A and B are shown apart, each in its own frame.
Chain A
Amino acid sequence: MASEYTSQGEIAITGTVLLTGVRNGSRMITMRFSNPAAYTLQLYSYKSSTASTIQIYDFTLDAGDVVTDSFAYLLEEGDYLEVFTDVAGTEYYVRCFEG
């Protein structure tokens, strides 16, 4: 049975994995990012079946901009979504389903 959970925190400059696909798959429902300072935001998707990473988007944002991503990303087991920023203090909030 799928379980919903939310997570929030600060994105590390070195990148933060937001969600990893589990055995029965995972779905990222909503992601939200913000920073009071100007910042960049890059989202990457790692596909375990091909051992490849693709960039989903690369945003250059003004101070105070909020990015809300409500695409439903489906992750197979071993896949993951990772986000990067260039400025400390970029907050994230995610809502997803696992299993």
Chain B
Amino acid sequence: MQVVDKTGNIFGIGIEITGPDGKPKTTGGGGGAPSGPAGGDLSGTYPNPSVVWNNGTGTYDLLYYPLSSNPAAYLTGITSLMVTNALGYTPAPTYQRRSDFVNPYQYSGTAVVGTIDSSATWTIKRINFTTPGSPITQTAVGAWTNRLSLIYI
């Protein structure tokens, strides 16, 4: 059976053709290619509409910057992002540690893994053992390489 109009369109809504058994008959093709303006999450015109992403533009937003394949764009796009693990809580970042002893001070530094020693983001604790039995702990933030000259409070 062929069910087409003069322009080749196959009718669906409004016109139904049923066989002798009363069941709707289907026709090959299932309709022509869509045309006209797109709507909803699509913009442009069929048959090649564009996706409108969550940020309302035609470009990818943060949700679509895969960290694995585009870390630069991912990090650039981050303004406020809570990362939770599979258990639903935010995992603590992994820190790297440094320690050094320069009499009478013990220096213990921590920074996020990957931080270079000259970065000013190290949190450094200095323990003063000048008075035996009464160590004084002070903290400074700065480069691990400058730990001896930082001001500890």
Bound pair (A, B): yes
A residues near B (Cβ < 8 Å) are: 55-71
A59 adjacent to B18 (CB under 8 Å): no
Nearest CB of A to B4, in Å: 7
Select which of A57, A67, A71 is within 8 A of B6 by beta carbon. Answer: A57
With contact pairs A62-B1, A65-B1, A65-B25 given, residues A57 and B19 touching in the complex (Cβ less than 8 Å): no
> Which one of B8-16, B90-98, B123-131 is at the interface?
B8-16
CA distance A31 to B34 in the complex (A): 27
In the complex, 6 of the A-B residue pairs with CB atoms within 8 angstroms, ordered by the A residue number, are A57-B5, A60-B3, A62-B1, A65-B19, A69-B14, A70-B14
B4 cross-chain contacts in A, Cβ below 8 A: 57-59
Interface residues of B, Cβ cutoff 8 Å to A: 1-6, 11, 14-20, 22, 25
Contacts of B15 in A (CB 8 A): 57, 67-71
Q: Which of B4, B6, B16, B17 has the most CB of A within 10 A?
A: B17
Task: Tell me the bound Cα distance from A60 to B18 in angstroms.
Answer: 13
> Contact at B1–A60, with CB atoms within 8 Å?
yes
Nearest CB in chain B: distance from A40 CB, A: 10
Residues of A with C-beta under 8 A to B1: 60-62, 65
Please, how many angstroms separate the alpha-carbon atoms of A62 and B22 in the complex?
13
A69 CB contacts on chain B under 8 angstroms = 14-15
- Docked Cα-Cα span, A55 to B7, in Å, equals 10
Bound Cα distance A70, B13 (Å): 8
A64 contact set on B, CB distance < 8 A: 19-20
Chain A hits for B3, CB < 8 A: 59-60
